[in-house]
Structure 1
Amino acid sequence: MTDTRPGAIRDHFDTDWLTLREPVDHAARAMTLSQQLAAWLEQTDRSGPLQLVDLGCGRGSNLRYLAPLLPGPQSWSLVDHDERLLSDAARLSIGSRDRDHGPVHFNTIEADLRDPGTWQHLLNTDTGVVTASALIDLVAAPWLDQLVRGLQHRQAALLVTLSYNGEFAFSQPHPLDAEVRQAFNEHQQASGPFGAGLGPKATEALQTRLQAAGYRVSTAPSPWTVPPQHAALQRGLVLGWQDAASEQRPQRAKAFADWAQQHLQQAGSPECTLQVGHTDLLALPPEPQ
């Protein structure tokens, strides 16, 4: 759930952007955490299909990545506030298979993720796993509190992936890279639809809350590497960083525009690679007493 212009928090998310980022997302994810989740599920008793809830599902990328790695049978609830994205998610996820080659069942649910009251009831007593990708760096601390309370009540596992950690770098650096990065990070923590966003602090904040609730938490880096063949994604990132940094420091807008122009000219060239820092987090319920 990430906007076309990262950091410029808006109410709707562009389908083209989500399409561009999906292969880079999948390549970046920490496979070790998915394997740990699969191992835990194999040891967990359940009477019916594994129930998974994906918050901020976008176009269903999380399902398409995770379903083949986890045991079946699986039943997913794909939750987002944007009916256009839910329609795409349903279309693209038809035919998905679990690790055991069984069909993956899913339904789409339109809900306003800004208000936990509209989605917490979706974490029903049968929910085994809650997932989210590129979401928690947008939310505020009270939202995380609500999420952890819901997980704890149901003793569900949580896999949160691709949370921005405050770092990005260019293979062809510019003197203003650090200033733009700092302004962008400040912008991420400005007021948005979820309130004052946690930005790069989100993973640590979530980990602290989960551990206080007795959860066993593992984290792993999941950095994007954006090579020249993903030039459109490179350009989208540069423009997003420029927009957010300029909004945060309008007096530096001209300098940031010049910064962006240089990086846009380099995008797609054989020497141009971007690194964007992310962190994945897996939380498993406390061991039964």
Structure 2
Amino acid sequence: MTEPATTIPHSGAIPAQPGPRDVADALPGRPGGTVEPENTVAAGTSVIPGAGPSASRPGERATLRLRDSDDGEPARYAPEWLQLREPADAAARSYELLDPLRIRLANLPGRADGLVIHDIGCGTGSMGRWLAPHLDGAQHWVLHDRDPYLLHFAAVASPRSAADGSHVTVETRRGDVARLTPDALSGASLVTASALLDVLTREEIGVLAAACAGAGAPALLTLSVAGRVEPTAPHPMDQEITEAFNAHQRRDGLLGPDAVTVAAEAFAEHGATVKLHPSPWRLGPEQAALTEQWLRGWVGAAVEERPELARRAETYLAERLEACAAGELRVVVQHTDLLALCRPVGGAG
């Protein structure tokens, strides 16, 4: 499942906590966080890897690769995209699910010893930066990802303290969610993930649910796409692009917008109490850079799925980008957060 864990103690040897911009600035060969375009959506346009269709595998989202690469090279995907979306993710995640989660965590046996939180597919660690300051008590975060490049940034940029000022520590583990076991989560107080479920298959979600249930750990799984997009000034092509994009997300057995429903059923089958709450991105003039990249990726994936849309989609994209640049475009991109309160090991609670 994993390579040996790397523990990162918070000491003088760790640089001061970088923010998202600092993470981008630290990228090799990319001074100042300069983005090196790799994918094109239409003539003369570019998209940050992760915001659009993968150049290497149709149907694969480039912010996270869960399977082995064909060429044997480690998966390295753009922290720039994760950096760009982090503020919108933080604003979107459901605070309504935090209260039932806090109640469960407060009643855990051995709670006084602190929380052990596993972040699956952690990317650059945005989930920890959002959640750790909302939970009281000492926390030890175990960051899981296939990509050592992203794990490095997640560890360096991890939060230092909990809501009440308690200490937060972190370790990293390379591994694949498809091989996750209850043993790997033994002792976990909580399992988290962000923007993960929709890039999994039904089998992989079953593995995740079984591992959490077997360990008796609740799971907070945020920002799964819901398949619904609501732009201002509706356009006749909105629905066509949405349907083609959703079909693209379902390629190769991935669940895309069906993931939350499948995950809720999988956790319920293991006896968990499941709570869902909307967590929409609300993009406006203040998020113009993110909106632009999201638009290019959204339309690009739709055209990759349905090439016959290309000519009309190019015009559509140009109109939407013009409105975005003018500060006139607002878009609600629907996501869903899931909290699964698995039965504690031993059946209590």
TM-score (norm 1): 0.92
Which of 58, 68, 91 lines up with 2:123 in the alignment? 58
1:22 has 2:86 as partner: yes
1:10-45, CA deviations, whole angstroms, 9 ceiling, x for partnerless residues? 344311111111111111111011222112111222
The total of aligned residue pairs comes to 280
Q: Distance in 2 between matches of 1:37 and 1:141?
A: 25
Equivalent of 2:204, from 143, 152, 155? Answer: 143
Equivalent residue number for residue 230 of structure 1: 287
- CA-to-partner distance for each residue in 1:178-218, whole Å, 9 max, x for gaps? 10000000000001xxxx11111100111011111110111
Higher helix share: 1
Structure 1: give runs of 5+ residues left out of the alignment. none
Q: Distance in 2 between matches of 1:73 and 1:204?
A: 33
Compute the displacement of 1:240 (Å): 0.6
* Aligned pairs (5 A) from 1:106-185: 106-113=170-177, 116-117=178-179, 119-120=180-181, 123-185=184-246
* Structure 2 counterpart of 1:288, one-letter code: A
Does 2:325 align with 1:265? no
Amino acid at match of 2:86: E
Query: Could you give the per-residue CA deviations for residues 36-87 of structure 1, whole angstroms, max 9, x where no partner exists?
Result: 2112111222263211110110111111111111122111111111222111
Amino acid at match of 2:222: T
Match of residue 202 from structure 1: 259
Q: Which has the higher contact order (CA 8 A, sep 6+)?
A: 1
The reply on whether 1:186 has 2:247 as its aligned counterpart is yes
Residues in 1 aligned to 2:327 and 2:50: alpha-carbon distance in whole angstroms: 27
- 1:123 positional shift: 3.1
Aligned: 1:281 with 2:348 = no
- For structure 2, list consecutive stretches of 5 or more residues without a partner in the other structure: 1-48, 54-58, 66-75
1:9 corresponds in structure 2 to 61
CA distance in 2, matches of 1:109, 1:177: 41
Change (3 A) 1:46 1:182: same
Q: Which residue of 1 aligns with 2:160?
A: 96
CA distance in 1, matches of 2:81, 2:140: 27
2:72 match: none
CA–CA distance in structure 1, aligned partners of residues 170 and 99 of structure 2 = 22
List structure 1 segments (4+ residues) > 6 angstroms apart after TM superposition: none
Is the strand fraction higher in 1 or 2?
1
Aligned mates of 2:215, 2:190 — CA distance in 1? 10
Q: RMSD over aligned Cα, in angstroms?
A: 1.8
Provide TM-score, normalisation by structure 2: 0.76
Instruction: Measure the CA separation in 2 of the matches of 1:218 and 1:163.
Output: 14
